[in-house]
A and B are shown apart, each in its own frame.
Chain A
Amino acid sequence: MNAPAGLRLDRAVRVGLREPAAPGTPMQVAQQRLMGIMLMFMLVTAIIGLRLVQICLFTGSDGNNGGAQNAQRGEILDRNGQPLATTIKLWAVAVNPQKILGDKNALAVKLNQLMPEKSVLDYRRILFGKRKFLYLRQPAPPELAAAVHALGDPGLLLLSESHRLFPQSAMAGHVLGYSQEVENPRTHKQELTGIGIERYFDNDLKAGKSITLSIDTRVQAALESEISKRMVETQAVGGAGVILDVHTGEVLAMASLPDINPNAPLRDQANMSNKVTQSTYELGSTFKMLTFANAIQSGVLTDMSQKFDVSSPLHVGGHTIHDDEPMHRALTVPEVMTYSSNIGTAQIADELGPERTKAFFRLLGMDRRIPIELRERGMPQFPSYWARTTVMTTAYGHGIAVTPLHLAVAYSALANGGILRPATLLKLPPNAQVPGKRVISEATSARMRQFMRLVVLQGTGTNANAAGLRVGGKTGTAEKVVGRGYSKSANITVFAGAFPMDNPRYAVVTILDDAKGSKQTAGFKTAGWMTAPLMRRITARVGPLLGIRPELDKDIDVSELMALLAEKKVPGKNVLE
């Protein structure tokens, strides 16, 4: 109806314009009408064209960019670019029984053939039921998805769902962790829970950013496998270990055993705590190195031949300090260290006094949580009141409890020339370091390196001496804290050290929880027999991986201190295996 009206109008206009012209022959009228129709067609075409252009230019572009990136959670990579956590698409098979078109009985039989976990009866019950959505298999392998697709019923749904996968399974489970939204039963709000890097960097990962960790998969695997092997041998209930780059502060491996599998994190709730960063332990004699460093740095120990009488236990303020292996004579400074004499160390600490002791521990960050990219960081048990006994006992690691990572960071500083660098789990660019602060002088650090090596050559740590790798360090044994007191039967055994001692590059702390002695260890269950062999195995395996060549003809010069040892051990004697 419109068109004739338009035409008439058009004709009227034309008529109006061309006055003299005749109303027109039928031919002209036909031409004009045709032209009008053509114009209209062109107008419609032009509108459609414009609309298409608009759709192409605007809707298309922002539709492409938006969804794809947001959907994909970022990857977590190790320092060599190997994926530790990635997101994959998995199929899920679901059904909407209300939309089934085909024969439901036949479909139930076919579904039973494809997914035999449910009986035909079950499938019939589902298909004839009143529900509108039900997962049949989640996740489903691609072959199954294709087979279900081939059934071709619109009621069967194939959903592509993204799934977080940790290819290395339980490796570095505590470092990687998990994150998930859980409804808080009290507030009925969705709350983010989880542990590890997944939780700490949740926002970045959600935004699609990849996180490159300082962890080296090979080193991590070696560390975990050696600790778990030793745990089995010594029937320990737990174990932990951390390897730090002393010059950059990067964590190359961090293991807490028994491990958790981040692919199914909630299955092992009991082992959720990270023993390296969260659990605090009294780390025993490993603290003697710190006390010695403090004493040398503050000028209390200047003469290494200075003697300390350790012949009788020390009675201070109702507390008795005694040695595990009483020596019944006066010991030189290196002997106090190699025999791991509590009495001697307590005397040195007594000379240091509470102020300097406290200040040094504070300088090492032992009074606060360790700074690292994890939320699970334990608060150390730092004494609030420093009595004379506190000073003396903390000197050999009793009465102060810190995380193994605290100790590893402190040992890095002792070994690397005196710079305390906070540990980091993120890979740093080449030649970059975590900014640190000086805690001891180069000279003191050099002396501490000698002490560490001496303990492994002549002291309690001989079992840690990995051939050619110049291991240095200190053993530590402490009674396990059970409830409110100490267990007489269970030990926490520690080895803290670094290698290669002539130019330290990596600091290692390993811990075994309640390792039990055996015939092989002559019944001993101290760190020298439990954790020191573990340190040797870890170093022997990890050293070459990290590019440190075992060299038998290379070592740090400890002759100066060696001369002060009255009795020397025969190399290779009393060494495990």
Chain B
Amino acid sequence: MIVATRLSAVWQVAGVAAAALCCYLVSQSVASERAGLLKVDRQIAQTQDEIAKLHTEIGVRGRMGQLERWNSEVLALQAPRPSQFVSSGVQLASLYGRKGQPALQLDPAIVRQQGDVTRVAYAPPAAAPAPAMPSAAPAPHTPELAPAQPLLRTATYIRPVPDRLGPAPAGPTTAPLIAKASFQPNKPVARPAPAPVVKVAFQSPKSLLPADISVLAAREAKGSRDNAKAER
């Protein structure tokens, strides 16, 4: 009992010491957490500084005056003209293929469907060379273009007129089309070929009416030359 009362003071002291130690440890860990936070804060500030610096550098290097100078020296871009704006998808689509090269690659599935429609108008020519032959016959052309031929030919009927007006770029564009019209009856076994030739002749007076062998031969030669050019 006496020992207990005498030791109670020791226990008290030990308890207080333990509590103080705990408090100290807690405050230590809080302090270390705080230090960690401060470090993260510093890192964030530093990163933000760097970001700001990089932004500034990008801003300075890409300043409008500099871009303007590059533009005047290298790119020479100008303000867009009204004709460069399109108001609808239809207008946009109409811009494709202006130079005789249909940039719009048609979906083969639609082409197959549309092929039927064109066959109504061009019954004799389109029927025979439709899907299988073109890949074999006009070698230099892409296979996508070949099945599109019957569909596109309706468009070429309208186009030859502006093509003739522009003399320089017109040559290579008209030639393969006409050549194809004349080729296809010859190379494939399909007989109905003569019909389109006559039609083409009617539509465009440039392809002279007397469909002589000499004219055909000339066109053939021209066509082959064009093809060779295209290959090159």
Interface residues of A (CB under 8 A from B): 28, 31, 35, 38-39, 42, 45-46, 49, 52-53, 56, 82-83, 86, 88-89, 165, 167-171, 217-218, 220-221, 225, 467-468, 537, 540-541, 544, 549-552
Contact = CB atoms under 8 A, between A and B. Distances in A.
B64 A171 contact: yes
Chain A contact residues: helix, strand, loop or mixed: helix
Interface core residue of B17, B64, B81 (most chain A CB under 10 Å): B64
Given A35-B13, A45-B24, A221-B64, 7 more contacts: A31-B10, A42-B16, A45-B20, A169-B63, A468-B81, A540-B79, A541-B79
Given A167-B60, A168-B63, A468 B13 contact: no
A69 to B, nearest CB: 12
A42 B23 CA distance: 12
B162 interface: no
A540 B85 CA distance: 13
A39 B13 contact: yes
A467 B64 contact: no
Q: Which 6 A-B pairs have the closest CB atoms?
A: A221-B64, A468-B82, A167-B59, A550-B82, A540-B79, A541-B79
A49 B10 contact: no
A53 B27 contact: yes
Contacts of B52: 86, 88
Contact of A544 (B23, B49, B59, B80): B80
A170 B63 CA distance: 10
A467 B56 contact: no
B77 to A, nearest CB: 10
Nearest to B71: A225
B206 interface: no
Interface string B54-75: 0110011001110110000000
A171 B59 CA distance: 12
Contacts of A56: 31, 34
Nearest to A31: B10
Interface string B20-32: 1001100100010
Q: How large is the interface on B (under 10, 10 to 19, 20 to 34, 35 or more residues)?
A: 20 to 34
A171 B23 CA distance: 61
B63 A552 contact: no
Given A31-B10, A167-B56, A225-B68, A42 B17 contact: yes
B3 to A, nearest CB: 12
Contacts of B55: 83
Given A56-B34, A544-B80, A221 B65 contact: yes
A553 B104 CA distance: 28
Nearest to A554: B82
A218 B64 CA distance: 7
Nearest to A221: B64
Contacts of A165: 56, 60
Contacts of B27: 49, 52-53
A524 B27 CA distance: 86
Contacts of A170: 65
Given A56-B34, A544-B79, A550-B82, A168 B24 contact: no
Contacts of A28: 6
A83 B56 CA distance: 8
B76 interface: no
Contacts of B64: 168, 171, 217-218, 220-221
B63 A171 contact: yes
16 contacts: A35-B9, A42-B20, A49-B27, A53-B27, A56-B34, A86-B56, A88-B52, A88-B56, A165-B60, A221-B64, A221-B68, A540-B79, A549-B85, A550-B81, A551-B82, A551-B85
Contacts of B63: 167-169, 171
Contacts of B68: 221, 225
B9 A467 contact: no
Nearest to A42: B20
Given A38-B17, A82-B59, A83-B59, A171 B65 contact: yes
A83 B58 CA distance: 11
B49 to A, nearest CB: 7
Contacts of B82: 467-468, 550-552
A38 B34 contact: no
B225 interface: no
Contact of B13 (A38, A52, A89, A217): A38
A49 B9 contact: no
Contacts of B16: 42
A88 B53 CA distance: 7
A62 B6 CA distance: 49
A38 B17 CA distance: 8
B65 A49 contact: no
A357 B90 CA distance: 54
A551 B81 CA distance: 9
B34 to A, nearest CB: 7
B84 to A, nearest CB: 8
Interface core residue of B9, B17, B53, B59 (most chain A CB under 10 Å): B59
Contacts of B56: 83, 86, 88, 165, 167
A192 B85 CA distance: 51
A217 B64 CA distance: 8
A496 B132 CA distance: 67
Nearest to A168: B63
Nearest to B68: A225
A46 B20 contact: yes
B58 to A, nearest CB: 9
A264 to B, nearest CB: 14
Contacts of A551: 82, 85, 87
Nearest to B7: A31
Contacts of A35: 9-10, 13
A83 B53 CA distance: 12
A168 B80 CA distance: 25
B23 to A, nearest CB: 7
